[in-house]
Amino acid sequence: MSDPFETFADVEELAERLINPDPVVRRLAVKDLGETALAEAEPLILGAIGDPNAEVRQQAAQALAEFDGLEVAEGLARLLRDPDSGVAQGAAESLAALKSPKAGGPLLLLVEDAAPFVRAAALRALKALRLPAALPLAVAGLQDSWPAVRAQAVGVIGYLKRDETLPALIGAVRDANAEVRAAAVGALAFSRLAAAADAAALALQDSDWQVRNAAAETLGRIGRGSATPALIAALDDEFWQVRQKAAQSLGKLKARDAVPKLLSALTHEKPNLRKEAAAALGEIADARARASLEAAGNDPDPDVRKTVLWALGRLTNS
């Protein structure tokens, strides 16, 4: 395989293009430097974050996603405050791609920045780094006045997976903002404690369907049988997506009490729900499902038929 850098000029030539008076030339030079992913290109791209042209700076922010480390994090942190929203958003996206713990220092400082966009972006980037030092800042972030900051704080807490933060997450399940509630319910999946399952089960009654959808999925991941009645009730949710997640979770829980409701779902108009109901029945492997599954073998959707055959095989082998 040829060197990918053979398709364009070497780093020295690209560096010369960075001082070209035409911003289009400079932007394309930054783009090509990023595609090299060479260490020699990193300082040149970092220099481009100070370019007078917003499109060049935005390209630099995007190109830095190919690199890592403290200097990259510091450069992107500066761009979060760029007056151009496209540049700031590009910096936020690249920050979220950082993997080195060395990037944590400047990010931790940004969590308490005056600008809510900066706070949210810093928390989003800290999530994947899983730094213990970010935990108290994230818990404090649950009280932030901006919903986007609270939602990202929930993500940090969920990724760190500490049981002592469970009360804070349960509190966030009652947040005024639906996006925050959905994120909090999803984050509860890290815990296997009864309190987490109880909170997620209660969220199945939330007014927002996406919160209910997250709750139905989370209950399957927590894996506590006490959630079965709430999930069975969710099979009557007005949104088929929630029903689908509930069926999936009931299958994971091998909930025999759910068999009658799942059999009814085999005839739902949405093929995705019929498929998930068949899969759940296969996981449960209850003989009561055989006749209905055999009838579903003629389903018009090929994916449903394939799943039905798998489910019947599970019944045969159980």
Rounded to whole angstroms, how far apart are CA atoms 239 and 212?
9
pLDDT at position 225: 94
CB 103 within 8 A of CB 125: yes
Q: What topology does CATH give the domain 254-318? A: Leucine-rich Repeat Variant (1.25.10)
pLDDT at position 9: 56
CB 139 within 8 A of CB 165: yes
Task: Provide the CB-side half-sphere exposure for 268 (13 A, CA).
Answer: 26
Where are the chain's structural domains?
A: 254-318
pLDDT < 50 stretches in the chain: 1-2, 4-8
How many Cβ atoms are within 10 Å of 68's Cβ, its own excluded? 16
pTM of the model: 0.86
Mean pLDDT for all residues in the chain: 94
**Ranges of H-type helices in the chain:** 11-17, 23-36, 42-48, 54-63, 70-79, 85-96, 104-110, 116-129, 135-141, 147-160, 166-172, 178-187, 194-203, 209-222, 228-234, 240-252, 259-265, 271-284, 290-295, 302-317
pLDDT at position 274: 97
Please give the DSSP secondary-structure letter assigned to residue 285: T
pLDDT at position 1: 36
How many Cβ atoms are within 10 Å of 140's Cβ, its own excluded? 13
Q: Report the candidate in 192, 183, 140, 137 with the shortest Cα–Cα distance to residue 161.
A: 192
